[in-house]
Amino acid sequence: MRYLPHSNAERAEMLAVIGTPSEDALFNAVPRRAFKTAPLKLPAHSPEFTVEARMVELAQKNRAAGDGPFFLGAGAYRHHVPASVDHLIQRSEWLTAYTPYQPEVSQGTLQMLFEFQTQVAHLFGMEVANASMYDGSTATAEAVLMAKRLTKRNRIVLSSGLHPHYRDVVRTYVGDTDDLVIVPHSLAGTMPLTIDEHTAAIVVQTPDFYGSLRNIEEYADIAHDAGALLIVVVTEVVSLGLIEAPGPLGADIVVAEGQSIGNSLNFGGPYVGLMATRKEFVRQMPGRLCGETVDSDGNRGFVLTLSTREQHIRREKATSNICTNSGLCALAFTIHMSLLGEAGLVKLARLNHARALALASALESIPGVELLNKTFFNEMTIRLPVAAAPVVDTLARKNILAGVPVSRLEPDDPTVHDLIVLAATELTTDAHIAALVQGLKEVLG
């Protein structure tokens, strides 16, 4: 057992010091009927090469995104992650450290979090950001609860175009009540919002689930006129290289999925939730915050701060039960964002938009396919003359991953059964697009 350092002789020596006959005797507080003396029905320990062979076998049953044409987005995006990002995050000092509760020996993590918070705040044009959340969807649910605390109002309006999974997570968090107003999906992009003096916040996503850009200023005006807050959700943060930040447009809380920067697709996790807000709201913000201070020699240093909001201090009075954040994914985000810098992020965003323009015009050339977006960044929705899911499945058998059929997320909405959401990134080649077009033409006949 390669991970266990003791020899049997050492175990015996230690037991003698303790004055106990056996390791099992140390479990004497366990009721005998619950103590297992025989091993459970599980495989026995294995050499590294055997384990590796099994895991490779499982991995090879999956079609990796990089193995051919791939157009999925819908909240998770395939971008190139520079090699140095993955090298750095595997350094022991980053990988195997705990939460920086002992700041004297955790300045690396703390300073990184301070840089992360600064990057996130700048990206969104907001005053403060926290040290990350689990992912974009849970960050959205936490933002909703935060808005309820801040306004002491209960009603939440989820605008159409919010990622259906995000909507579902919010519903799980706040419960299925009349105070959760879900604006039905509408491709016309109208926003018939019923908002009143009971409304705590409007939640709007841009680019929205269907890829269209939303007019944040309009939503901000509607929210603020009623004394409510505006929560802006971003699932593709690369878009912010080209699109105006939500902060200057009037957002009160911005939450996002940060996976696009530094993190792989990972079948859905781990990802990194981003959250930023106005300075005046910081004491109602959930999650860890890192702040600057000095040590007793007067040197600059960083600590976790404002922890009187948090569960380990406030217990049942905490702003959230959140404890763990997404430290290592936040590190990957920060390193990748440092490599990009402003110049790199803008270039990356332009490249994504250019690939999406190429994809859009190719799709528009296919008879029977209708592109529904007036605006988009790197993601768009098409309508097929037939149900979308079987088409996507057929194309998958041809090794073309054509996008996400909306019915997969909205099985009960008959108006979306013929829609596919597709994304293009810097990794989408002309050959991929040609293969998709060819495949769609064949399937649609």
Partner 1 sequence: MSMNTQGRPTGAGTAASAGAFASTSGSSLLPNEPLLFEIGDTEHSGVDLPDVTFDESRLGDFARKTPLNLAGLTEPETLRHYVRLSRLNFSIDSGMYPLGSCTMKHNPRLNEKMARLPGFADIHPLQPVSTVQGALELMNELAYWLMTLTNTAAVALSPKAGAHGELCGMMAIRAAQKARGQGHRGVVLVPESAHGTNPATAAFLGYTVRSIGARDDGTVDVEAVKSALGPDVAAIMLTNPNTCGLFEPQVIEIAEAVHEAGAFFYCDGANFNAIMGVVRPGDLGIDAMHINLHKTFSTPHGGGGPGAGPVVLSAALAPFAPVPFVRKSGDGLELVEHAEGEALGRITAFNGQMGMYVRALTYMLSHGGDGLAQAAKDAVLNANYVKARLEKVFSAPFGGQPCLHEALFDDSFLDGTGISTLDFAKALIDEGFHPMTMYFPLVVHGAMLIEPTESEPKQTLDHFCEVMLELAADARAGNQQRFTSAPLKAPRRRLDETRAARAPRLKWEPPVDLPQAAE
Q: Taking contact as CB under 8 A, which single stretch among the options 80-88, 147-155, 190-198, 429-437 is the one that binds partner 1?
A: 80-88
Stretch that binds partner 1, among 177-185, 224-232, 389-397, 433-441 (CB under 8 A): 389-397
**Count residues contacting partner 1 (CB under 8 A)?**
206
Q: How far is the CB of 46 from partner 1 (least distance, A)?
A: 6
Binding to partner 1 (CB under 8 A) within 130-159 occurs at: 131-132, 134-138
* Least distance in angstroms from the C-beta of 42 to partner 1: 3
Residues of 144-172 as b/e, b for ≥16 C-beta within 10 angstroms? Answer: bbbbbbbbebebbbbbbbbbbbbbebbbe
Residues 324-353 that bind partner 1 (CB under 8 A): 324-329, 331, 334-335, 337-348, 350-351, 353
CA distance readout (Å), 303 to 93, 95, 108, 295, 367: 18, 19, 11, 10, 59
Query: What does the alpha-carbon distance between residue 369 and residue 380 come to, in Å, rounded to a whole number?
Result: 12
Q: Which stretch binds partner 1 (CB under 8 A): 147-155, 180-188, 287-295, 429-437?
A: 287-295
Query: Is residue 225 within the footprint of partner 1 (CB under 8 A)?
Result: no
Q: Does 368 bind partner 1 (CB under 8 A)?
A: no
| Cβ pair 216, 125 in contact under 8 A | no
Q: Is residue 314 within the footprint of partner 1 (CB under 8 A)?
A: yes
Q: Candidates 312, 368, 429, 442: give the one binding partner 1 (CB under 8 A).
A: 312
* Calpha distance 343→8 (Å, rounded): 59
Q: Which of 181, 182, 187, 282 binds partner 1 (CB under 8 A)?
A: 282
Q: Tell which positions 3-22 bind partner 1, by CB under 8 A.
A: 3-6, 10-11, 13-15, 17-20
Choices 147-155, 218-226, 316-324, 428-436 (CB under 8 A): range interacting with partner 1: 316-324
What does the alpha-carbon distance between residue 112 and residue 115 come to, in Å, rounded to a whole number? 5
26 — phi, psi (to 5°)?
A: -70, -15
Handedness of CA 306, 312, 316, 319 (dihedral sign): positive
Q: Rule CB under 8 A: say whether 220 interacts with partner 1.
A: no
Smallest separation, CB 256 to partner 1 (Å): 12
Contact predicate 258/279, CB 8 Å: no
Q: Binder to partner 1 among 159, 199, 373, 381 (CB under 8 A)?
A: 373
What is the closest distance, in whole angstroms, from the C-beta atom of residue 283 to partner 1 in the complex? 9
According to the binding rule CB under 8 A, does residue 414 interact with partner 1? no
CB of 164 to partner 1, least distance (A): 9
Report d(CA 135, CA 174) in Å as an integer. 17
Among all chains, which residue has been given the structure tokens 């909240």?
A: 75
Single-letter residue type at 289: L
Nearest to 390 by CA among 417, 411, 414: 417
Residues 187-216 that bind partner 1 (CB under 8 A): 206, 213, 215
Single out the residue of 148, 153, 155, 163 in contact with partner 1 (rule: CB under 8 A).
163
Closest contact distance (angstroms) between CB of 408 and partner 1 is 6
Residue list 252-271, contact with partner 1 (CB under 8 A)? 257, 264-270
Q: How far is CA 85 from CA 89, 264, 329, in A?
A: 6, 11, 10
- The CB-of-323 to partner 1 minimum distance in angstroms stands at 4
Closest CB to partner 1 among 202 and 240?
240
Judged by CB under 8 A, the residue of 94, 182, 281, 370 near partner 1 is 94
CB 203 within 8 A of CB 180: no
Q: Does 315 sit near partner 1 (CB under 8 A)?
A: yes
Beta carbon of residue 195, minimum distance to partner 1 (angstroms, whole number): 22
Q: Which of 342, 330, 211 is nearest to 261 (CA)?
A: 330
Task: Work out the angle at residue 38's Cα, subtended by the Cα atoms of residues 32 and 44, and round it to the nearest 5 degrees.
Answer: 145
Rounded to whole angstroms, the Cα distance separating 139 from 287 reads: 10
- Report how far residue 209's alpha carbon sits from residue 280's, in angstroms, rounded to the nearest whole number: 30
